[in-house]
């Protein structure tokens, strides 16, 4: 068993603003809790700026740019004073980094665009923060289960977290990471896509769920809870016996503690 003392700690006093994201706040509180547990164990001071709400992606990606702008303003206002802003979602973090500046320009507010870009540059997905900023892959986690990993489109292609989540997973004690066929294919969630094109979304989710079930894994891991919600919605309906879990929750698990 690895103790906290054996893993590399972040520089003393690294202060992290947790960006919980709206969906995690209300629907998946266990995930931001796991981020708190993990980051504190790795020597960070975690704060939760109370003014936060959302990245605004649901508005932006549905074409409601004007409506997204005040949400962006709120994000910038809430997080502008922090050096490290960390969220457990490649999709929300990706939206902050890829869309906030554009929305500032759309609003005809170059000041907002500039500040949004600066805040976005300090916004990290949890996997990036741990690997790139803290310089760790072994976080002393223990998870004695068979898992398979779905990289999620926005973690992969918008936040571009690369192989960081997989490196973190593979360093977990006791874990078996099983390969997932067509792992880079979309699960069909796509935000409002699932509601606007429910039939195609269902067909895509069905493929993903089938590939996941075929791995024989006990847990399906991803860095985005809404993709997990989609895939596990199908798996649960089929009583497939595969549980969804966010990457941060695995990284927060330790030997001797129930997961």
Partner 1 sequence: MSVQDRTSGAAGRAPVAGLPAPRFEGVRKTPAPPEGELIDEPRFPVAAKRELELPVQRGNLHHAMTTIRTKRARVTAELGHWEELRLAGEAIKNRTLRHLDSYLLQLEENLTAAGAVVHWARDAAEANRIVVDLVREALADEDVTYDGTGEAGAEVVKVKSMVTQEIGLNEALEEAGIAAWETDLAEIIVQLGHDRPSHFLVPAIHRNRAEVREIFLDEMGNYGKPAPPDLDSEPRNLAGAARLHLREKFLRAKVGVSGANFAVAESGTLVIVESEGNGRMCLTLPQTLITVTGIEKVLPTFDDLEVFLQLLPRSSTAERMNPYTSLWTGPRAGDGPEKMHVVLLDNGRTRVLSDPQGRSALRCIRCSACLNVCPVYEKVGGHAYGSVYPGPIGSILTPQLRGTSSAVDKSLPFASSLCGACFDVCPVRIPIPDLLVYMRHQVVAAKKAEAKNTRRPFLTHGEPAAMTAAAWMMSDAKRWIAATKGAGIGGKLLGRADHLGPLPWPASLWTNARDVPVPPKESFRSWWQREREGNQR
Nearer to partner 1, 55 or 250 (CB): 55
Q: How far is the CB of 5 from partner 1 (least distance, A)?
A: 24
- The site for partner 1 (CB under 8 A) is made up of 20, 22, 24-30, 32-33, 36, 48, 50-54, 56, 58-65, 67-68, 70-71, 73-74, 78, 99, 153-154, 156-158, 184-186, 188-206, 229-230, 233-234, 236-237
Nearer to partner 1, 60 or 127 (CB): 60
Q: How far is the CB of 139 from partner 1 (least distance, A)?
A: 21
Tokens of 182: 């067509």
Which residues, including other chains, have CB under 8 Å from residue 248's CB and lie 6 or more apart?
A: 31, 34, 35, 38, 88, 126, 223
Q: How far is the CB of 236 from partner 1 (least distance, A)?
A: 4
Which residues, including other chains, have CB under 8 Å from residue 66's CB and lie 6 or more apart?
A: 106, 107
User: In DSSP terms, which residues pair with 118 in a beta bridge?
Assistant: none
Nearer to partner 1, 156 or 250 (CB): 156
Tokens of 16: 């992290």
End-to-end C-alpha distance for the chain, whole angstroms: 16
Q: How far is the CB of 200 from partner 1 (least distance, A)?
A: 5
CA 39 to CA 31: how far, in whole Å? Answer: 12
User: In DSSP terms, which residues pair with 178 in a beta bridge?
Assistant: 148
Q: How far is the CB of 25 from partner 1 (least distance, A)?
A: 5
Nearer to partner 1, 44 or 68 (CB): 68
Do 94 and 135 touch, CB atoms closer than 8 A?
no
Nearer to partner 1, 142 or 193 (CB): 193
């Amino acid at each position: 068993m690895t103790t906290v003392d054996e893993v590399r700690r972040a520089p003393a006093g690294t202060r992290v603003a947790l960006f919980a994201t709206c969906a995690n706040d209300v629907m998946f509180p266990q995930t931001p809790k796991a981020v708190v547990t993990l980051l504190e164990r790795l020597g960070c001071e975690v704060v939760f700026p109370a003014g936060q709400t959302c990245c605004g992606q649901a508005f932006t990606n549905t074409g409601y740019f004007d409506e997204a702008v005040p949400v962006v303003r709120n994000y910038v206002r809430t997080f502008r004073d922090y050096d490290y802003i960390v969220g457990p979602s490649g999709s929300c973090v990706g939206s902050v980094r890829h869309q906030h500046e554009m929305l500032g320009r759309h609003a005809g507010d170059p000041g907002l665009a500039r500040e949004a870009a600066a805040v976005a540059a300090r916004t990290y997905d949890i996997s990036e923060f741990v690997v790139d900023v803290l310089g760790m892959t072994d976080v002393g986690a223990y998870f004695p289960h068979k898992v398979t990993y779905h990289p999620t489109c926005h973690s992969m292609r918008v936040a571009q977290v690369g192989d960081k989540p997989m490196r973190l997973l593979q360093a977990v004690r006791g874990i078996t990471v099983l390969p997932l066929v067509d792992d880079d294919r979309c699960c069909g969630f796509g935000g409002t896509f699932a509601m606007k094109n429910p039939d195609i979304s269902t067909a895509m989710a069905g493929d993903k769920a089938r590939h996941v079930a075929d791995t024989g894994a006990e847990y399906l891991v991803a860095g985005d809870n809404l993709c997990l919600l989609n895939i596990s919605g199908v798996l649960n309906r089929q009583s497939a016996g595969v549980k969804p879990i966010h990457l941060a929750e695995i990284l927060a698990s330790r030997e001797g503690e129930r997961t």
